[in-house]
Amino acid sequence: CSINETGLHFTPVLKSITLTNGVGENVENNIVGGGVFARNSNPQLENVLITGCSAWAGSAIYSNNGSVGDTTTIKNCVFSGNTAGGNDGTVHFSGSHLKLVNTLISDNSGGGLRMGGAHYGSIINSTIIDNVNDMGVMLQSGTYKIINSIISGNESTQLRILSSCNLTIEYSDIDGGQDSVLVEENAVLNWGSGNIDVDPTFVDTANGNYNLLASSQLINAGHPDSTD
């Protein structure tokens, strides 16, 4: 799925679809966006499953150069079983604001989520887990917030924040706790209230069921005022 629009404030919507076995676009000698490639736009995704797709960067989604001040929202989506040849993530995003809500990024090769230059990004009620061949989340050049989310079981580092990044984490389960977050020079980590480091205790990860068991310590452990 390729979205390329040079006009301002172009907002395509993908809703209730499944994208499988896609191969990325050749952009400046780099294969990007195995499932969705978006440039100069602010795509909105809801109830989208992307699986079995491949690219060098952004094996599920590669989005860049969105309109400044606009927001890309990814809600109730699953990105699983995709392969990135490099270390640029299953979801690779740069440009406008990004809001990731109730979304699962799991069992991908090439890392989980990479955001840079997003100005503002938020990860809410989302799970980024069991991704291999790179880290779970990499953030750069922006202000970000992670709340009510799980980042666990990823190969290498769970979280890495690069130069000019300001990250706040609250009420989230971070594998390895605060010490597991790699904070590079000129980056700021604000470790807020309610964060824990426990086994999430999912129903059946072997078969892709990342719902929490009733016995999970994460039940009722989220932000008390959260509405997402």
pLDDT tens digit string along 47-91? 999 999 999 989 999 888 666 667 889 999 999 999 998 777 899
Residue 217 maps to a domain = no
pTM above 0.75, yes or no: yes
- CA–CA separation, 190 vs 137, rounded Å? 16
pLDDT at residue 2, rounded to an integer: 46
228 in any annotated domain: no
Residue 121, C-beta contacts closer than 8 angstroms, at least 6 positions apart: 93, 97, 98, 99, 100, 115, 139, 142, 143, 144, 145
Q: Has residue 25 been placed in a domain?
A: yes
Domain with 71, as residue range(s), is 2-212
The answer to the question of residue 6 being in a domain is yes
Q: Can you give the pLDDT at residue 1?
A: 55
Give 181's strand partners.
Answer: 159
The alpha carbon dihedral of 4, 77, 132, 115 has a sign of positive
221 belongs to a structural domain: no
The mean predicted confidence, pLDDT, of the chain is 89
Rounded distance, CA 34 to CA 120, Å? 25
The pLDDT of 6-35, averaged and rounded, is 79
Q: What is the DSSP string of 151-164?
A: EES-SS-SEEE-TT
pLDDT score at 228? 64
219 located within any domain: no
pLDDT at residue 118, as a whole number: 64
Tell the residue number behind the tokens 């010490």, with chain if given. 179
Is residue 226, in this structure, part of any structural domain at all? no
Q: What is the pLDDT of residues 23-57, one digit of tens each?
A: 988 887 788 889 998 888 788 999 999 999 999 98
Within a domain: 227: no
- The gap between the terminal CA atoms of the chain, to the nearest Å, is 28
Domain count, the chain: 1
The pairing of beta strand 25-27 with beta strand 44-51: unpaired
Supply the pLDDT for residue 227.
65
pLDDT number for residue 79: 98
Higher per-residue pLDDT: 150 or 31: 150
Rounded (to 5) percent helix, strand, coil in the chain? 5, 50, 45
Q: What is the pLDDT of residue 68?
A: 60
**Does 172 have pLDDT greater than 50?**
yes
Which of 59, 50, 74 lies closest to 126, judged by CA? 74
Please state the rounded mean pLDDT for residues 6-27.
78
